């Protein structure tokens, strides 16, 4: 039976579901994966919406496309797609892409360690995958340089008042607030609705009051928020919950004061948090930083060196984490299906 689109994908999760498209996407032009990402956004954004909206996705879903790398030193390339944007980098998605490439036999696995270079939109990412019995037991990658932009800045958040925040780049621009500013709020699943509400409001206020700029990605601003705080788990150093936007925010419409909670400990969010802690003198180089997500699983970060980026002090982070495959699927779009970009309904979408 012929379909309008047929997409082959492997579904994974590290808490948050992260789909990896392995086939069915036509050639994407561009002289780098970054250019391919830009072309896709401008010419075939239907694919992102189709795969991330209902009935094939839901608000907390992410998706990746395996593409040929342009850099001759890279083993594979990948484009990252989320609900409102195409991030240039994502930690959890990188871990999932590596897991799929090796466990599905798309790239050869070497036990006990497979070394790879991937080309992300952000550039080349060095990867070391710990492998045993044909399975990926852990993935460590060296991320792009991370840096703090604002430390202990005070923003005025309507309906919340003054909130102290940090802003940092870890592959995306994060606004980070200590959860202890909100008495009674806990970084647990049972507080999910209030976490999403407060996080969305903080993100929007930071967008309006704290301008940011990355030298390599003009126009990229704060797009994501993180609430963080201490943990009593001896296997972790800090606890965090990242909230992703799942629609357009409006101060006039309280139903939009929400988002989708990242179910994993968040790799780029961990890098942003480490950059803040380092800038405050609270995290030295070459010390493990165990960052716990809302489900209790942990990504381990480490700052391996200091560097500079366009005259700004930065740090080079590594992230170690695990992802699991949970489905191998063919997704199709029927010729008669009127919902060619999927759909969103207000009971779960902003």
- The strand ranges marked E within 213-270 are 222-229, 238-244, 260-261
| pLDDT band (50, 70, 90) for residue 49 | very high
| pLDDT band (50, 70, 90) for residue 183 | very high
Question: What values do phi and psi take at 48, rounded to 5?
Answer: -60, -50
In whole angstroms, give the CA distance from residue 140 to residue 114: 10
- pLDDT tens per residue, range 119-158: 999 999 999 999 999 999 999 999 999 999 999 999 999 9
| 184 Cβ neighbours under 8 A, 6+ residues apart | none
For the record, the structure tokens of 99 come out as: 């897991």
| 205 Cβ neighbours under 8 A, 6+ residues apart | 155, 156, 157, 158, 163
DSSP output for 103-137 = HTTSS---SSEEEEEEEETTEEEEEEEEEETTEEE
Residue 45: how many other CB atoms lie within 10 Å? 13
| 76 Cβ neighbours under 8 A, 6+ residues apart | 66, 67, 68, 69, 97, 101, 106, 107, 116, 118, 119
| pLDDT band (50, 70, 90) for residue 350 | confident
For the record, the structure tokens of 141 come out as: 């990658």
Mean pLDDT of the chain: 97
Q: Are 131 and 109 in contact (CB under 8 A)?
A: yes
Q: Indicate the SS3 state at residue 227.
A: strand
Q: Indicate the SS3 state at residue 69.
A: coil
Mean pLDDT value across residues 4-26 = 97
In whole angstroms, give the CA distance from residue 55 to residue 58: 8
Q: Indicate the SS3 state at residue 2.
A: coil
In whole angstroms, give the CA distance from residue 9 to residue 157: 41
User: Which residues are known to be catalytic?
Assistant: 90
Global confidence as pTM: 0.96
- pLDDT tens per residue, range 199-252: 999 999 999 999 999 999 989 999 999 999 999 999 999 999 999 999 899 999
In whole angstroms, give the CA distance from residue 309 to residue 146: 9
| 124 Cβ neighbours under 8 A, 6+ residues apart | 71, 73, 74, 117, 118
**3-state SS string for 139-162:** EEEECCCEEEEEEEEEEEECCCEE
In whole angstroms, give the CA distance from residue 205 to residue 88: 23
- pLDDT tens per residue, range 202-213: 999 999 999 999
Whether the pLDDT of residue 338 is over 70: the answer is yes
- pLDDT tens per residue, range 76-121: 999 999 999 999 999 999 999 999 999 999 999 999 999 999 999 9
Whether the pLDDT of residue 1 is over 80: the answer is no
Scored b (16 or more CB within 10 A) or e, 183-198 reads eeeebeeebbeebbbb
Using DSSP bridges, classify how beta strands 161-169 and 147-157 pair: parallel, antiparallel or unpaired.
antiparallel
For the record, the structure tokens of 49 come out as: 């919406």
- Burial status of residue 341 (CB atoms within 10 A of its CB: 0-12, 13-18, 19 or more): middle
Query: No. of H helices and E strands in the chain?
Result: 5, 17
Give the model's pLDDT for residue 2: 86
- pLDDT tens per residue, range 2-13: 899 999 999 999
Domains of the chain are: 5-143+324-333 (3.10.310.10), 147-320 (3.10.310.10)
């Amino acid at each position: 039976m012929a379909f309008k689109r047929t997409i082959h994908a492997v579904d994974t999760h590290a808490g948050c579901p992260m789909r990896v498209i392995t086939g069915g996407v036509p050639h994407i032009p561009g002289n780098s994966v970054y250019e391919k990402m830009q072309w896709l956004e401008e010419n075939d954004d239907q694919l992102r919406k189709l795969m991330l909206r209902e009935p094939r996705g839901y608000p907390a879903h992410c998706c990746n496309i395996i593409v040929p790398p342009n850099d001759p030193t890279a083993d594979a390339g990948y484009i990252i797609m989320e609900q409102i944007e195409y991030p240039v980098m994502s930690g959890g998605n990188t871990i999932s892409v590596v897991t799929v490439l090796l466990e599905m036999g798309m790239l050869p696995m070497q036990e006990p360690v497979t070394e790879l270079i991937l080309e992300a939109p952000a550039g080349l990412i060095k990867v070391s995958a710990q492998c045993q019995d044909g399975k990926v037991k852990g993935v460590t990658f060296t991320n792009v340089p991370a840096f703090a932009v604002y430390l202990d800045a005070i923003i005025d958040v309507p309906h919340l008042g003054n909130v102290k925040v940090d802003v940092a780049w870890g592959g995306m621009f994060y606004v980070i607030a200590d959860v202890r500013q909100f008495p009674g709020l806990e970084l647990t699943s049972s507080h999910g609705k209030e976490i999403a509400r407060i996080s969305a409001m903080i993100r929007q206020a930071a967008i309006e009051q704290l301008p940011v700029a990355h030298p390599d990605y003009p126009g990229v601003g704060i797009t994501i928020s993180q609430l963080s705080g201490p943990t009593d788990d001896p296997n972790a150093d800090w606890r965090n919950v990242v909230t992703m936007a799942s629609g357009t925010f409006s101060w006039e419409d309280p139903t939009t004061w929400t988002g989708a909670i990242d179910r994993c400990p968040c790799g780029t969010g961990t890098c942003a948090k480490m950059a803040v802690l380092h800038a405050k003198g609270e995290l030295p180089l070459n010390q493990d930083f165990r960052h716990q997500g809302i489900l209790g699983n942990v990504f381990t970060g480490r700052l391996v060196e200091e560097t500079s980026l366009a005259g700004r002090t930065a740090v080079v982070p590594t992230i170690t984490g695990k992802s699991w495959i949970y489905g191998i699927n063919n997704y199709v779009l029927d010729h008669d299906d009127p919902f060619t970009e999927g759909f969103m309904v207000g009971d779960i979408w902003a």
